[in-house]
Amino acid sequence: MNLIVEAIGRVADLGGPVVMILIVMSMIALALILAKLVQFLRLGVGRHGALEKALADWDRGEAERATREAAGAPSHLAGVAVAALRSAEAPAYDEGALRARLTGLASARLARLGAGLRLLDSVAQVAPLLGLFGTVLGMIEAFQGLQQAGAAVDPSALAGGIWVALLTTAVGLAVAMPASLVLTWFDARIAREAQMAERIIDTALCAGVGAEG
């Protein structure tokens, strides 16, 4: 742990305030990623085995059993499934109004999953630009030193200034690439949840359509 802290401190000293900002951004992104993973686990994202069984039973006409299985499902979409099955079993609205109401209920569930991901997206987009900005500032400083040195130019000093300047770009990319990959994974999971919610609503309102013998 001490070695990691020392390495971060060394990089921050070399890269200056831009690298410090990038390190803070990386910590924010890491905290957000961990929080979203815990949320996904707690809400049962992707755990649709019980819902799949409930929908299959509903297609076979076993309404009571299907509703009971949906109510006991560990998925965050269980509430949507129960509402859809009960409403379809004893409809109080026309199909269009009922579908709109259920879609809104599912959208509210999905919105919880997407909360905070805009911040992660901002980190993925801003980090490389901030790193490039730090590199430009470093290069300006390096060439100013070259101009002031005049004829007594030390190539090693110039090279040292340039690689320190490029360090900020490297740090920016190191922050942005994992954030972008994790964001893509989160988006894919949410898209699958949206597909599942749509399937729940379609099955509840159109029981038996497309079901196997």
DSSP string, 35-73: HHHHHHHHHTTT--HHHHHHHHHHHTT-HHHHHHHHHT-
Residue 3, pLDDT score: 59
Domain of 30 in residue numbering reads as 2-205
Please classify residue 147 by burial: count the beta carbons closer than 10 Å to its beta carbon, then call 0-12 exposed, 13-18 middle and 19+ buried. exposed
Cα–Cα distance for residue pair 82/208, rounded to 1 Å: 17
Residue 127, pLDDT score: 94
Cα–Cα distance for residue pair 179/131, rounded to 1 Å: 15
Average pLDDT on 205-212 reads 59
Asked whether residue 34 is domain-assigned, the answer is yes
Asked whether residue 145 is domain-assigned, the answer is yes
Model confidence over 81-97: pLDDT tens digits?
998 888 877 666 677 88
Asked whether residue 210 is domain-assigned, the answer is no
Residue 14, pLDDT score: 62
Asked whether residue 213 is domain-assigned, the answer is no
Quickly state the pLDDT bin for 34 (edges 50, 70, 90).
Answer: very high
Greater confidence (26 vs 14) lies with 26
Asked whether residue 88 is domain-assigned, the answer is yes
Cα–Cα distance for residue pair 26/9, rounded to 1 Å: 14
Has residue 126 got a pLDDT over 90?
yes
Asked whether residue 109 is domain-assigned, the answer is yes
Asked whether residue 212 is domain-assigned, the answer is no
The percent of residues in the chain predicted with pLDDT above 90, rounded, is: 46
Average pLDDT on 107-120 reads 93
Q: Count up the domains in the chain and report the number.
A: 1
Quickly state the pLDDT bin for 213 (edges 50, 70, 90).
Answer: very low
Is this structure's pTM higher than 0.85?
no
Quickly state the pLDDT bin for 2 (edges 50, 70, 90).
Answer: low
Residue 61, pLDDT score: 84
Model confidence over 136-151: pLDDT tens digits?
887 877 777 666 666 6
Evaluate whether 130 touches 22 at the Cβ level (below 8 Å).
yes
Mean pLDDT is lowest, of 13-17, 52-56, 71-75, 130-134, for 13-17
Quickly state the pLDDT bin for 186 (edges 50, 70, 90).
Answer: very high
Has residue 15 got a pLDDT over 70?
no
Average pLDDT of the chain, as a whole number: 84
Please tell me whether residue 75 adopts helix, strand or coil conformation: coil
Greater confidence (47 vs 12) lies with 47
**Angle, to 10 degrees, between the axis of helix 17-43 and the axis of helix 117-149?**
170
